[in-house]
Chains A and B, each alone.
Chain A
Amino acid sequence: AQKVTQAQTEISVVEKEDVTLDCVYETRDTTYYLFWYKQPPSGELVFLIRRNSFDEQNEISGRYSWNFQKSTSSFNFTITASQVVDSAVYFCALSDSNTGGFKTIFGAGTRLFVKA
């Protein structure tokens, strides 16, 4: 069965600290996609990144970076030099061919507080 685990329920950091959000996934499929979404206080989830199972290259986008490791089934998200605007709930998600691509499995989310 597919599963996404975000073990960190809440994280609190001070502005300019680096923070890593953990994501561990389970799937029996060899073809799958992983996503990160951000949910700011306004409520609307915003897509951040997608990664397919055949591409283990890490990605950097400004202060955001993602580390995908198939060996540990992890897709971790790091924010460098955090800012107050990064305060949000972050969701990791998985979709695979077992669900026909229609069902995306979301983790429970990690709430990040960045204090000024």
Chain B
Amino acid sequence: DVKVTQSSRYLVKRTGEKVFLECVQDMDHENMFWYRQDPGLGLRLIYFSYDVKMKEKGDIPEGYSVSREKKERFSLILESASTNQTSMYLCASRPDGGELDNEQFFGPGTRLTVL
């Protein structure tokens, strides 16, 4: 049974804190993604990675960074959390590279609240 897991389902942090969101997949997928989901906006891509140590900015990378030291793990980092980063964060993985037709496999999401 293929799986994408995220380190926390719920997280509460204070403004200015450094926040780490971890994602692990067990499918040996090359591609991994971080999205944030907000009401009325759908899913917006923050960063993606197509290989170990490789990363590309998505549509809303400001205030975020990522790390991919191992193929199965993709971390999202909020260097200094702000209240406008309160959101649901979804991690996904996808097999192969650059192909259009592969679906993504999603984790259960982390609901982050920044106070």
**B26-46 CB contact bits vs A (8 Å, 1 = yes)?**
000001000100001111110
Q: How far is the CA of A47 from the CA of B100 in the complex (A)?
A: 14
Would you call A64 an interface residue if the criterion is a C-beta within 8 Å of the partner chain's C-beta atoms?
no
Q: How many A-B Cβ pairs are below 8 Å?
A: 60
Q: In this assembly, does B103 line the interface, its C-beta being within 8 Å of a C-beta of chain A?
A: yes
Q: How many angstroms from the CA of A31 to the CA of B99 in the assembled complex?
A: 11
- Determine whether A97 belongs to the interface, using a CB cutoff of 8 Å to chain B: yes
Which of the candidate stretches B17-25, B67-75, B106-114 sits at the interface with the other chain? B106-114
A100 partner residues in chain B, CB cutoff 8 A: 98
Closest-CB distance, B5 to chain A (whole angstroms): 10
**A-facing mask of B72-115, CB < 8 A → 1, else 0?**
00000000000000001010100000111101111111000000
Residues of A within 8 A of B (CB-CB), count: 29
Asked if B101 and A52 sit within 8 Å, CB to CB, the answer is yes
Are A97 and B48 interface neighbours, CB within 8 A?
no
Please indicate the chain A residues that have their CB under 8 angstroms from the CB of B56 in the complex: 102
Question: A108 with B103: in contact, given A102-B56, A103-B58 (CB under 8 Å)?
Answer: no
Would you list which residues of chain A between 54 and 100 have a CB under 8 Å from chain B? Answer: 91, 95-97, 100
Query: B9, B35, B40, B50: which contacts A102 (Cβ < 8 A)?
Result: B50
Contact of A95 among B9, B100, B106 (CB under 8 A): B100
- Asked whether, in the complex, the Cβ of B104 is within 8 Å of the Cβ of A47, the reply is yes
Q: B11 → chain A, closest Cβ, in Å? A: 14
A residues near B (Cβ < 8 Å) are 4, 6, 9, 31-33, 35, 37, 42-47, 50, 52, 91, 95-97, 100-104, 106-109
B residues lining the A interface (CB < 8 Å) = 9, 31, 35, 40-45, 48, 50, 56, 58-59, 88, 90, 92, 98-101, 103-109
30 CB contacts below 8 A, A to B, read: A6-B42, A32-B100, A33-B101, A43-B88, A43-B90, A43-B108, A43-B109, A44-B109, A45-B90, A45-B92, A46-B106, A47-B103, A50-B101, A52-B101, A91-B42, A96-B100, A100-B98, A101-B98, A101-B99, A101-B100, A102-B48, A102-B50, A102-B98, A103-B45, A103-B58, A103-B59, A104-B45, A106-B43, A108-B41, A108-B42
